Amino acid sequence: MKKIIVNGGNPLCGSVDLQGSKNSALPILAAVAAADGISVIHNCPDLTDVTAALKILEHIGCKIKREGHTVIADSSCANRFDIPESLMREMRSSIVFLGALLARFGNASVSSPGGCEIGLRPIDLHLNALRSMNVQISERGGRLNCKAAQGINGGNISLSFPSVGATENIMLASMSARGETVVTNAAREPEIIDLASFLQKCGAKISGAGQSVIRINPPEKLTGAEHTIISDRIVASTFMACAASAGGKIAVSGVVREHLDPIIPVFEAAGCESDFNGRELIFKAPSRVSRVKSIRTMPYPGFPTDSQAIVMAMLAKAKGTSIITEKIFENRFRHVPELVKMGADIRVEDGCVAVVEGVEELHGAKVTACDLRGGSALVAAALGAAGKTVVEEIHHIDRGCEAIEKSLSALGADIKRE
Ligand code: EPZ
């Protein structure tokens, strides 16, 4: 299996371009299936999860062309509404195709996505919402067979939790609903706004995206459109954590400042400095970061759960003790034992609270990535550790970070992929 080798100790300096957002690209590529005709999607990151989404589009009959970071998709010949188990298994977030296939065909047959490394990942909110839109759903043998025999109804849907995926599936299914769909307690993440922006270009009328109440009125017919995906705020925070761990000063170009509003205060509390020059973030790390007393992951605009692991990696060498509470996923501390192998002093209490006692130094070790963000955290820690670290199972990282070793090497890190 491929691995990443890091010889720690080099401070980072230089500039890196920020990739397009994985968590925006996936729902927008699903939306391509709901829109008839040609869509051109720019700034689409080159990730294994994106490749999996493109395979699903081809499976249902779309013609796909990839030119660098641009995807040209012609969905006019799409004629299937089933996603085979093999493709569903490649990427559990393919559940977001459910709403798109229902909008396009009034039918969808997918496998239950099941859990993943970070938690059980239930989809009850998705299914309850779709049932309230007049979708009949039968779960048999691990398959979800969904049908809107009398068409999809709009209406008022209130989510008990602002689920990103459930909000996206409702937005997609509502593209062929009769009447207006109003989602209350909707997710407010920037990726929701980006999906709404694409759907509006395809003809939909959507107001309130990014707020807790979204109103959606579908067009007569959803047609393909051209769109540029927003940059990836989580990968931006990954580069920040790498610089904070290794020391140095970096520039990250292509950021959207407001997307980093929930993240910057945590890095500033740790003693890092952030300045913005238009869409460029200038980020400077202190020689040793300070502890951050308490961090709690929350839905946007709270501190993002996807940045929890990388911030923990940074705080492993902080002056003092930091407390990190993971409120979103039930199994998102799998990077802790791996960081402990590198000399970190971290204990987990009640399964959701990590007490991070900062140590003077981390040392290289052989560690294993257990999930995407946990794997990124191990790379960040390795950059600031003394000696050589080998990170295994790096396919997890490639799901969400485009060629992480190339970007970090360009910033002066001694890092390579084997
Ligand atoms: C999206 O996952 C992201 N993935 C995740 O990023 C991100 O961590 C998460 O949102 C929260 O921001 C994509 O966008 C592809 P949720 P999603 O539905 O939609 C519970 C990464 O590393 N829940 O907001 O699955 C769920 O168990 C990934 O890039 C239900 O109980 O997140 C969790 O506790 C990881 N029932 C919480 O809600 C449901 O029907 C948040 O889930 C749905 C969710």
What is the widest separation between alpha-carbon atoms in the chain?
65
CA atoms within 13 A on the CB side of 124: 4
| Phi, psi values for residue 380, rounded to 5° | -60, -45
Q: What is the pLDDT of residue 115?
A: 76
pLDDT band per the 50, 70, 90 thresholds, residue 117 = confident
Q: What is the pLDDT of residue 90?
A: 85
301 alpha carbon, distance to own chain's centre? 15
pLDDT band per the 50, 70, 90 thresholds, residue 70 = very high
Residues 77-98 have a mean pLDDT of 92
pLDDT digits (tens, 9 = 90+) for 31-53: 999 999 999 999 999 999 999 99
pLDDT band per the 50, 70, 90 thresholds, residue 91 = confident
pLDDT band per the 50, 70, 90 thresholds, residue 1 = confident
Residues 225-245 have a mean pLDDT of 98
238 C-alpha to ligand 1 centroid (Å): 19
Which atom of ligand 1 is closest in space to residue 124's alpha carbon?
Answer: 40
Kind and range of the H or E element at 62?
A: none
**When comparing pLDDT for 118 and 43, which is higher?**
43
CB neighbours of 323 closer than 8 A, spacing ≥ 6? 293, 294, 295, 353, 354, 355, 356
Residue 120 clears pLDDT 90, i.e. is over it: no
Residue 363 clears pLDDT 90, i.e. is over it: yes
pLDDT digits (tens, 9 = 90+) for 248-266: 999 999 999 999 999 999 9
Residues enclosing ligand 1, CB less than 6 A?
22-23, 26, 93, 119, 121-126, 161, 163-166, 187, 305-306, 328-329, 372-373, 400
Residue 92 clears pLDDT 90, i.e. is over it: no
Q: Whose CA is nearest to atom 28 of ligand 1?
A: 306
267 alpha carbon, distance to own chain's centre? 20
Residues 213-217 have a mean pLDDT of 98
Residue 334 clears pLDDT 90, i.e. is over it: yes
Residue 369 clears pLDDT 90, i.e. is over it: yes
Average pLDDT, the chain: 97
Specify whether 13 is catalytic.
Answer: no
Q: What is the pLDDT of residue 131?
A: 98
